[in-house]
């Protein structure tokens, strides 16, 4: 038996263990009742407001967990994060008697999304209000055709807002443009650099979640200890990386790390 990735295997396992320690260290105090401070995030406050408004108007909010799949396709982590946020959004919707229309680009995502939404309606005691047709399977891993389907949903009169949290690329703009044409408020987020500027330009910076903010959404929406601990562990890991980068810059500046290429720059 040998290590598949060579010495890198040890580094990866070490990094994962460090992250795991951060996670457990952050989780224990939260379970004991300590509430961490979360900086206000307007986009997620807006998401709650949109669902509340749709309950008042009797219309529905469109939700998409992205174009990523759960079967090893790119965007699995984003899809999982989008589905966790969907659970929190469905809980808010079920409690406020609002409707969500959920669209998916993958059969597995469709099945999980269906289960997540149904579970929230059952837990809230509104099993009868759950409509299987509110969950829509649009395409199987075809980003452009999927966005065309989303554009059609956004064009429906009953849709009052657009929420898209997951993996999206430049094709998001087709949906964003349709939402703008109908003056639909949006809350959007993607981990892809191709989509971020388009989302900011289309939905506005206050309604856009950039990069890791999208992964923070579940913690903000449901405030479960496990999600809060995960968020704090991310912050600690980021702080560790920042410290390592600063130390690396100082070491390279003072010639303690000559082999990273700094001597060539001189």
- 118 interacts with another protein by CB under 8 A: no
The number of beta carbons lying within 10 Å of the beta carbon of residue 96 is: 15
Give min distance, CB of 191 to another protein, in A: 5
User: Residues 54, 99: contact at Cβ < 8 Å?
Assistant: yes
- 220 interacts with another protein by CB under 8 A: no
Give min distance, CB of 120 to another protein, in A: 9
Of the ranges 15-23, 41-49, 51-59, 250-258, which one interacts with another protein (CB under 8 A)? Answer: 15-23
Q: How many residues bind another protein (CB under 8 A)?
A: 76
Residues 91-110 interacting with another protein (rule: CB under 8 A): 107-108, 110
Q: Cα separations (Å) of 103 from 35, 77, 164, 182? A: 34, 18, 10, 19
Give min distance, CB of 27 to another protein, in A: 8
> In a 10 Å sphere around its CB, with 0-12 CB exposed, 13-18 middle and 19+ buried, how is residue 199 labelled?
buried
Cβ neighbours for 130, distance < 8 A, ≥ 6 positions apart: 117, 118, 121, 122
- 244 interacts with another protein by CB under 8 A: no
- Dig out the tokens for 211 from the structure: 């990069």
End-to-end alpha-carbon separation of the chain, Å?
Answer: 44
Judged by CB under 8 A, the residue of 89, 161, 214, 221 near another protein is: 214
Residues 180-199 interacting with another protein (rule: CB under 8 A): 180, 191, 193, 196-198
- 41 interacts with another protein by CB under 8 A: no
Pairing of strands 208-210, 186-190: parallel
Judged by CB under 8 A, the residue of 49, 96, 212, 262 near another protein is: 212
Residue whose C-alpha is closest to residue 44's, from 227, 228, 222: 222
Residues 120-159 interacting with another protein (rule: CB under 8 A): 123, 132-133, 135-138, 140, 144-145, 148, 152, 155-157
- Dig out the tokens for 98 from the structure: 């609002």
Give min distance, CB of 97 to another protein, in A: 21
- Dig out the tokens for 78 from the structure: 């984003």
Residues 62-81 interacting with another protein (rule: CB under 8 A): 70-72, 77-78, 80-81
Judged by CB under 8 A, the residue of 63, 202, 220, 228 near another protein is: 202
Give min distance, CB of 177 to another protein, in A: 5
Nearer to another protein, 55 or 80 (CB): 80
> In a 10 Å sphere around its CB, with 0-12 CB exposed, 13-18 middle and 19+ buried, how is residue 149 labelled?
buried
- 211 interacts with another protein by CB under 8 A: yes
Distance CA 231, CA 216 (A): 6
Judged by CB under 8 A, the residue of 30, 44, 51, 87 near another protein is: 87
């Amino acid at each position: 038996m040998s290590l598949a990735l060579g010495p890198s295997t040890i580094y990866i396992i070490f990094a994962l263990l460090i992250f795991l320690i951060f996670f457990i260290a952050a989780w224990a105090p939260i379970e004991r009742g300590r509430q961490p401070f979360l900086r206000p995030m307007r986009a997620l406050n807006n998401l709650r407001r949109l669902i509340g408004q749709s309950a008042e108007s009797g219309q529905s909010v469109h939700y998409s967990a992205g174009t990523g799949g759960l079967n090893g396709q790119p965007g699995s982590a984003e899809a999982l994060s989008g589905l966790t946020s969907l659970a929190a959004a469905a809980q808010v919707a079920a409690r406020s008697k609002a409707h969500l229309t959920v669209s998916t680009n993958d059969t597995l995502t469709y099945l999980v999304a269906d289960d997540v939404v149904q579970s929230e309606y059952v837990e809230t005691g509104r099993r009868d209000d759950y409509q299987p047709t509110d969950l829509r399977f649009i395409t199987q891993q075809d980003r452009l055709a999927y966005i065309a389907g989303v554009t059609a949903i956004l064009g429906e009169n009953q849709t009052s807002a657009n929420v898209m949290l997951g993996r999206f690329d430049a094709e998001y703009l087709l949906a964003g443009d349709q939402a703008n044409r109908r003056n639909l408020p949006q809350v959007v987020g993607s981990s892809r650099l191709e989509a971020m500027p388009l989302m900011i330009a289309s939905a506005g910076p206050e309604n856009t979640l950039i990069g890791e903010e999208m992964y923070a959404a579940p913690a903000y929406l449901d405030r479960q200890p496990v999600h809060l601990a995960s968020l704090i562990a991310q912050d600690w890991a980021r702080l560790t990386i920042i410290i390592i980068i600063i130390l690396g810059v100082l070491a390279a500046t003072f010639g303690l790390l000559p082999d990273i290429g700094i001597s060539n720059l001189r």
